[in-house]
Amino acid sequence: MTTIAIVGTGLMGTSLALAIKDSNLQVDVVGTDYDSSARSGAQKTGAFKKVESRLSNAIRGADVVVFATPVMSMREMMEATAGDFEEGCVVTDIGSSKRVVLQWAEEVLPKTVSFVGGHPMAGREKSGPQNADGTMFKGRPYCIIPSTTAEKSAVSSVTTLAESIGAKPFFIGVEEHDSFVAAASHLPFMMSVALMGCTSKSTNWDDIGPLASTGFGDLTRLASGDPIMHRDICMTNREPIVAWMDAYIRELYDLRNLLATEEEPDPESVHQVFVDAMEARDRWQAGIFSTMDKINGPSSDIPSFAESMAEMFIGRRGMEAQKKMMGGLKNDVLKKD
């Protein structure tokens, strides 16, 4: 049976394991984490066949390895396990920054494995395996960014994994990913942190706090996120984040200037700002945006679930997945297996 090893059994790693358990994938899922409390919590969820205390024990024999650790620890994890990967292993991750992770994979991982970057656009502000939720991926985009040396069968395997947990494969370039995610994911939590800081540092916070209601709670929710995750995102994707923060500051400053006039602001101009924002959000919520056609499942040349699983087995036996895909040998191989 195919084995998937998940390195990191926190919120995301355990949620992924739960989602796989509830999917149509007939696989064994093994977890590992340096934190004994995370291992214990993950084991209690029933998401894993077993949770290893030693990283190498989880990696050896795995057909697919998923790094679900904070981004800054991934290089160290890759270096520590470089000699443990099976030949033909598919290696992926679920980190929020992709350029540095793909660079580390190219520098550190053995040439006998294929690395395919991954990033499900899902999460929770609460961390830890006790807050894991296997349904969080359903209907969400799952960014797939293959390395330049990744086998087609490896891309197929990660695509299958994304589909099996109810996510929508979203194929995107590494630079676009890091910029777009900085806008849609990283900028919001920086805004949340800034709002929390701006208000809580006020000398009047003891009076402001009791007045803060749902709107304030909604906008500051992301400030409750995992500080380590947010730190690592900032450290590994700082240039796109800074660029989008600058754009946001300019937008905010335009609104500030609209109100900070010597004369009373023009009511129609102020009103139009809110109309434009409301209509833009309505269009977004309705799915009206030009890149929606990218979120439409795998492309026609990505193999099906059965084909993908067969490729992983055949790869482990030293056969070339490309030959099988191009030579029409899939049915014969599946019959033999």
Q: What is the pLDDT of residues 67-119, one digit of tens each?
A: 999 999 999 999 999 999 999 999 999 999 999 999 999 999 999 999 999 99
Q: What is the pTM of this model?
A: 0.82
Whether residue 198 has pLDDT greater than 50: yes
**Coil, helix or strand at residue 56:** helix
Residue type, 263: E
What are the sequence ranges of the domains in the chain? Answer: 2-172, 176-248
What is the predicted pLDDT for the residue at 330? Answer: 35
Mean pLDDT across the stretch 272-285? 94
Angle, CA of 13, 170 and 185, to the nearest 5°: 65
pLDDT confidence tier of residue 127, bands split at 50, 70 and 90: confident
Mean pLDDT across the stretch 181-209? 97
Whether residue 301 has pLDDT greater than 80: no
Mean pLDDT across the stretch 296-324? 43
CATH entry, 2-172, from 3.40.50.300, 3.30.2310.20, 3.30.1490.270, 3.40.50.720? 3.40.50.720
Angle, CA of 110, 116 and 120, to the nearest 5°: 140
What is the predicted pLDDT for the residue at 290? Answer: 59
- Sheet with 27-32, edge to edge strand ranges: 50-52, 27-32, 2-7, 64-67, 90-93, 114-120, 141-146, 168-171
233-243 pLDDT per residue, tens: 999 999 999 99
- How would DSSP label each residue in 270-288? HHHHHHHHHHHHHHHHTT-
Return the sign of the alpha-carbon dihedral for residues 152, 157, 162, 163.
positive
CATH architecture entry for 176-248: Orthogonal Bundle (1.10)
